[in-house]
Amino acid sequence: MSHPILNDAQARMKKSVDHTLHEFSTIHTGKASPAMVESVQVEAWGGTQPLKACAAITTPDARLIQVQPWDKSLTRAIEKALQQANIGVNPVVDGNVIRLPFPELSRERRLEFVKTAHRLAEEGRVHVRHVRRDAMEAVKKAKKEGKISEDDEKRLEKEVQQATDKAIKDIDTHLANKEKELTTV
C-alpha cells in the first residue's frame, strides 16, 4: 500500500535527481554535446525561444557543435545568444551554419568542472533532504491528526528514508560517472 505523502516525496525526489542530472549534462567534458546549448534562449519571433526550437543542433565530431537555423534570418540572433550564454566557446558563422569548436580541456579546466559537478551534486542532495524533511513533517502531522496509525507512521518514515537514500545514491553514482568522464583524457 503506497501512501500519498510517500508518492509525493518520491516524485519530488525524482525531480531533484533529474534536475541534477540535467545540470551535469551542461558541464562539458571536452566532448561536444547538443545538451550544452539546447536550452540557450534566443530572441526570435517576438519573444525568447530555446535554441532547439529554432535550429537543428548536431555534433559532426567530438569537438564540434553545429547549429543550423531553420529560419536563416535568425542566424545573427542565434550567434548573439550563443555568445551571451557564456559556454566558453565562440560561435563561428559560416554561411547559414554556426559552428562551436571546443578546444582540448586543460587539467586545470577539468578540475574546475569537477568542482562544479560536486557543487551541483551537493545542491541536488540538499534538495532531496528538504523533500525528506517535508515528508517527515507531513507524516508526523498525519499521525497527530489521527489520519494514520503509529505503525503506518513508522513504516512511512522508513520508506521516506529509503527513498531519500536511493535518490542520494543516484546523484552520487552520476557524480562519480561525471567525474570519471571529466578526468579521463
CA–CA separation, 70 and 153 (whole Å): 56
Output the pLDDT for position 110.
83
Unique residue bearing C-alpha cell 559537478 = 117
Q: Three cell numbers at 120? A: 551541483
> What crossing angle do the helices spanning 107-144 and 4-25 adopt, rounded to 10°?
170
Higher-pLDDT residue of 5, 36: 5
Fold of 4-25+106-183: Topoisomerase I; Chain A, domain 4 (1.10.132)
Residue 47 pLDDT level (bands cut at 50, 70, 90): confident
Domain locations in the chain? 4-25+106-183, 34-101
Output the pLDDT for position 64.
85
Q: Three cell numbers at 155? A: 513504516
CA–CA separation, 161 and 153 (whole Å): 12
CATH architecture of 34-101: 2-Layer Sandwich (3.30)
HSE at residue 99, side-chain half, CA atoms within 13 A, is 11
Residue 120 pLDDT level (bands cut at 50, 70, 90): very high
Region 99-123: mean pLDDT is 86
Residue 129 pLDDT level (bands cut at 50, 70, 90): very high
Higher-pLDDT residue of 48, 16: 16
Output the pLDDT for position 28.
67
pLDDT digit string (tens) for 87-96? 777 888 888 8
Contacts of 44 (CB under 8 A, 6+ apart): 53, 54, 71, 74, 77
The alpha carbon torsion through 39, 43, 49, 50 (nearest 10 deg) reads -10
Output the pLDDT for position 23.
85
Q: Is a pLDDT exceeding 60 seen at residue 36?
A: yes
Residue 76 φ/ψ, nearest 5 degrees: -65, -40
Residue 124 pLDDT level (bands cut at 50, 70, 90): very high
Residue 29 pLDDT level (bands cut at 50, 70, 90): low
Output the pLDDT for position 67.
86
Cβ atoms 96, 153 nearer than 8 A: no
pLDDT digit string (tens) for 18-28? 999 888 877 76
Residue 118 pLDDT level (bands cut at 50, 70, 90): very high
Region 145-169: mean pLDDT is 93
